[in-house]
Amino acid sequence: MATNVAPLTAFAYHMPMKIGILQLNPVVGDIQGNSKRILEAVRKAEAMGVDFCITPELALTGYPPRDMLLYGGFIHKVENSAAQLATELKDSIPVLLGSVETNRSGTGKPVYNCALWLKDGAVRQSFKKTLLPTYDVFDEARYFEPASDNAEANNILIFKDRKFAVTICEDAWNDKDFWETRTYDRDPLEEATAQGPDAILNISASPFSLGKQDLRQRMLGAVAAKYTTPLVYVNQVGGNDDLVFDGRSCAFDGQGKVFHRSPGFVESVQIVDLNNPKTNSIAKDDLSEEAETWNALVLGVRDYVSKSGFKKVLLGLSGGIDSALTAAIAAKALGPENVLAVLMPSPYSSQGSIDDSLDLAKKLGIKTMTLPIEHIMDSFSETLAEAFEGYEPDTTEENIQSRIRGNLLMALSNKYRALLLTTGNKSELAVGYCTIYGDMSGGFAVISDVPKVLVFSLCLWANNTFGGIIPENIITKPPSAELRPDQKDQDSLPPYEILDAILEEHIEHHKNEAELIAMGYETEVVRKVLKLVTFAEFKRRQAAPGIKLKPRSFGTGWRMPLACKREL
Amino acid sequence: MATNVAPLTAFAYHMPMKIGILQLNPVVGDIQGNSKRILEAVRKAEAMGVDFCITPELALTGYPPRDMLLYGGFIHKVENSAAQLATELKDSIPVLLGSVETNRSGTGKPVYNCALWLKDGAVRQSFKKTLLPTYDVFDEARYFEPASDNAEANNILIFKDRKFAVTICEDAWNDKDFWETRTYDRDPLEEATAQGPDAILNISASPFSLGKQDLRQRMLGAVAAKYTTPLVYVNQVGGNDDLVFDGRSCAFDGQGKVFHRSPGFVESVQIVDLNNPKTNSIAKDDLSEEAETWNALVLGVRDYVSKSGFKKVLLGLSGGIDSALTAAIAAKALGPENVLAVLMPSPYSSQGSIDDSLDLAKKLGIKTMTLPIEHIMDSFSETLAEAFEGYEPDTTEENIQSRIRGNLLMALSNKYRALLLTTGNKSELAVGYCTIYGDMSGGFAVISDVPKVLVFSLCLWANNTFGGIIPENIITKPPSAELRPDQKDQDSLPPYEILDAILEEHIEHHKNEAELIAMGYETEVVRKVLKLVTFAEFKRRQAAPGIKLKPRSFGTGWRMPLACKREL
């Protein structure tokens, strides 16, 4: 396969070749701002002495631009901006820029996802993406026309007598030796390497999920080794709605070994020197589940808040572990001075919950406000007394309390122009242990992809790492919604260890009832959990966006029918 | 192209060929129920003397099954059920059944969308869909592997010495003579007709939008005429979440003329007799905007409510035209005895609004309940007094009222097990003239794709058609949210005629600011409207599903980023 490929050694001691890795954090749709950001990064890299620069995929639009791509006016602006950028960089170094290009063939989707070669004041060459991910959170076949079957010759960039194979993200993710099953017939990497490149370039917008970086390094390392060709992978960084991009751009030598890694979860401009692998830097990285989760959540919150035009946030503190963790993440992401915690005790709230909340706020250095809700609860009871005559109390009364709190929080959000964060975890959202328009109210659901068991271990990790920021009592007491006297989560739900295990199998691995029972889970428990998951679908449809952590999450990548029968 | 195609006349006087058109209303995911429904329809058609039957696309799963298709267990059940259906129909007539088939190649998506030929107790042949719509509300490339390039030979079904070209929905929608620009390179219809079929069969799940039936008849008629080959098109009927399928299955002769049409918006089993075009029935159809809208909304509500397992609904009646129209549709769809209207007057509500609401309820025959909210409003004011000290009153106070009403309605919904309908129109949802967790609360948004101008004309049409069901005063008074003294919609919004025109250009035709101004709309108005549309995106993300009416609607087919800058 790779017979005519030059190994790293043949390349390494040839002429100098330093590449600027622009690991950027664009704002989706902010063409002007992103253009400026790219320009500044190129100037910086130029000053560092690189020969050319590489941006992430779609750096000019930010990834994912979604339905903005359906607007012809938007595409026009992006194309103009790329040409303008080329002009402004006329006397600078060349750039391989992630952008779009209009499809002028008259057939197919209106645009290509491509890498543009900006050199000497103009766009000199365009490399089109071939493999368009259309699964989970990805909708690329909705927008983009793929490179045609005859595009092989166009995948090669020649610069300073060296040949580079240019690929875009998914193009490198279909190797038949690495993957047990393949998503696509074509392998653009195989096509490109058949032409004997000196190195493979891959511009990406590869969103974070737990374990993804480990997979990327194994997979990209394996293809670099397979073709005995160095591979440079440049990833986007930053939070864009539900997606966090973790950066961690890498370079691999022709044996598949990482010889450069940019830092995770921050913007950076770095040098990859293909000739002197030893001079390159490999940023430290913590691949533990807790560290990855924490870093992703902090970045996700910071960017969602700032890219939405907010500075301040608020949230309800119940005294429970979920709101405590959310508050800790928000304080870290935005600074404690920008976080307001609101306590809204009812007659069912324990004094312990109030004390724990105040203790937490003190440790985090965030402000608090206390708004007791008993008086409002009474006014609802009176107003509804006649309508509820003859009906037994049920979850209705609990939901009313939760919605009173939602109304108060939204009122403060509106009045103070602060974004309301919701505090529910993934286990709750899965089984519907949450109130729509109540505790589900808010603009951003920080931990909605964190299962309850991980909530606990993340709090312990945070306390170890940052020195006891979450009161011990909040972590150790039995979880309760405190919506009726002596209520405990475990009265209505199986133990969280079992619940989370079943949910992971069902949501992430698509196991159905029969398969779960065959795996050894109790029939009654499985049935109950799956029934709850199904029933809660209408709540999730109206849930706030949250940060994707897991390979499969609720949100944009979860598309379930509502008025249906689920015979999975 | 069509040189070896047999024209209708060559076929018409050959042997008898009667086809059973099973225009079914499946429940998504209800494999057992759908299977039973198909079985009963086949028996009925058999009794009517047809030679074979055709179901809509994916009749066994219902369309669209969405992420259920990612569950291997689900696919397994569907395939078993198809085989079981073949067995049960062993001694009956053959059926061309819309279903799925596992992709066993090891590459690509796990399933095919296909038409299975059930005959003599087994699945005898499978016809795979080639063109997979992946735009607007369609995500087929997410789930299905397309038929391969070499599938032509498999598109022909031979039965009783006649050749049928089998196509699935989109397969017939890419004719290069009909469309100015084409979405795909391939044309399965061209490939199939090259083999000289006696008739083209097209099994579909083609969702309704305004004007779609007119387009279908023109387009399918044009291809039937182009290939001088009769075409039989079988469509699904029924509401599945946001999509309404309007049925209206058709048969076209070799000159492109409709010679059969099944009725719109209802299930039906009909005969198409290819040999005696004159004996076929063409159901009457009203293609006026108001009739199509009314029929779609009534069916959409009826099916969403029943397929969600509800019988009763409730809604808030404000005295305005939107809630009046929603109540009228609900009463028609579910029977007035299943609709509860809740009046929640505040000190800002006019006596006229209360009188109008009671008058409407009387005309519709629906029950009412009145829950004044002043007392609850006071309790919120008191609770928030300190927090709001030093802040001017603004929309916050209006939102609190709206959310009090949302809480009361949801409480009744929970207590009475009745689905809450929301009453906002498309113009409001577009510009954010609505309160998240307030009047946006509810399980189903009946008129959320109806622009305000169409709301008015629909009410007039309904009064003409059903005899004055909506009080004149509700239609003629100036629209107001009545959330502060003397408030009128037109104080903060441009006239609805202008607003709706701008919104249609922007949302449906993707015109941006510069293009709208070039079209002659006032610069300031355009800027204001587009700014409002952008700002309201976060509300729409958490909106209840509504019924799709327009070629482009908010909901599953509208995928816009949130934390971004919109430079469209």
Tell which of A408, A437, A448, A509 to mutate to test the B interface (max B CBs under 10 Å).
A437
pLDDT over threshold 60, residue B406:
yes
Q: Chain B residues with CB inside 8 Å of A566's CB? A: 29, 68
Tokens (6 digits) for A175: 């190797």
Burial A526-541, CB ≥16 within 10 A → b, else e: bebbbebbbebbbbbb
Fold classification of B292-485+536-541 is Rossmann fold (3.40.50)
Quote the mean pLDDT of chain B. Answer: 95
| Backbone phi and psi for residue A355, each to the nearest 5 degrees, phi listed first | -60, -45
pLDDT tier at B492, thresholds 50, 70, 90: confident
Task: Report pLDDT for A14.
Answer: 55
Cross-strand partners of A102: A111
Task: Report pLDDT for B362.
Answer: 98
Cβ–Cβ of B239/A562 closer than 8 Å?
no
**Could you confirm whether domain A292-487+536-541 is CATH 3.40.50.11890?**
no
Task: Report pLDDT for A151.
Answer: 54
Q: Locate the chain A residue with the closest alpha carbon to B415.
A: A396
Task: Report pLDDT for A1.
Answer: 34
Contact A326, A298 (CB under 8 A): no
Task: Report pLDDT for B228.
Answer: 96
Tokens 């490339």, located at residue: B141
Pairing of strands A367-370, A339-343: parallel
pLDDT tier at B14, thresholds 50, 70, 90: low
Q: What is the dihedral of CA B175, B180, B182, B188, to 10 degrees?
A: 0
Class level of CATH domain B8-287: alpha beta
Distance of CA B330 to the CA centre of its chain: 16
Task: Report pLDDT for A202.
Answer: 98
Q: What percent of chain B has pLDDT over 90?
A: 91
Task: Report pLDDT for A492.
Answer: 83
Cα distance between residue A260 and residue A417, in whole Å: 43
pLDDT tier at B15, thresholds 50, 70, 90: low
Q: Chain B residues with CB inside 8 Å of A109's CB? A: 183
CA distance B385 to chain A (A): 10
Predicted-assembly ipTM surpassing the 0.90 threshold:
yes
Q: What is the dihedral of CA A182, A186, A187, A192, to 10 degrees?
A: 180
pLDDT tier at B343, thresholds 50, 70, 90: very high
A128 given a catalytic annotation: no
* Rounded mean pLDDT, B366-370: 98
Judged by a CB distance cut-off of 8 A, whether residue A159 touches chain B is no
pLDDT over threshold 90, residue A8:
no
Quote the mean pLDDT of chain A. Answer: 95
Q: Exposed (0-12), middle (13-18) or buried (19+): which is B518, by Cβ within 10 Å? A: exposed
pLDDT digits (tens, 9 = 90+) for A250-266: 999 999 999 999 999 99
Cα distance between residue B179 and residue B194, in whole Å: 20
CATH second-level architecture of A19-274? 4-Layer Sandwich (3.60)
Cα distance between residue B480 and residue A270, in whole Å: 58
Task: Report pLDDT for A491.
Answer: 81
Nearest to B275 by CA among B218, B203, B199: B199
pLDDT digits (tens, 9 = 90+) for B108-140: 999 999 999 999 999 999 999 999 999 999 999
- 3-class DSSP state of B355: helix
Nearest to B503 by CA among B531, B463, B462: B531
pLDDT over threshold 90, residue A276:
no
Cross-strand partners of B370: B343
Task: Report pLDDT for A481.
Answer: 85
Single out the catalytic residue among B119, B128, B129, B511.
B129
pLDDT tier at B424, thresholds 50, 70, 90: very high
Single out the catalytic residue among B18, B53, B57, B128.
B57
pLDDT over threshold 50, residue A516:
yes
pLDDT tier at B480, thresholds 50, 70, 90: confident
Whether the bond between A64 and the residue before it is cis, its omega within 30 degrees of 0, is yes
pLDDT over threshold 60, residue A224:
yes
Instruction: Report B:423-462 residues touching A (Cβ under 8 A).
Output: 436-437, 441, 443
Q: Locate the chain A residue with the closest alpha carbon to B513.
A: A73
**pTM for this structure?**
0.96
Three-state secondary structure string covering A84-146: HHHHHCCCCCCEEEEEEEECCCCECCCEEEEEEEEECCEEEEEEECCCCCCCCCCCHHHHECC
Tokens (6 digits) for A435: 């109130």
Judged by a CB distance cut-off of 8 A, whether residue A389 touches chain B is no
Judged by a CB distance cut-off of 8 A, whether residue B345 touches chain A is no
Judged by a CB distance cut-off of 8 A, whether residue A59 touches chain B is no
pLDDT over threshold 50, residue B10:
no
pLDDT digits (tens, 9 = 90+) for A348-374: 999 999 999 999 999 999 999 999 999
Q: Chain A residues with CB inside 8 Å of B135's CB? A: 142
CA distance A278 to chain B (A): 39
B415 given a catalytic annotation: no
Judged by a CB distance cut-off of 8 A, whether residue B381 touches chain A is no
Q: What is the dihedral of CA A326, A328, A333, A335, to 10 degrees?
A: 130
A57 given a catalytic annotation: yes
A294 vs B484: which has the higher pLDDT:
A294
pLDDT tier at B491, thresholds 50, 70, 90: confident
Cα distance between residue A553 and residue A561, in whole Å: 16
Pairing of strands B95-102, B52-54: parallel
Pairing of strands A52-54, A18-23: parallel
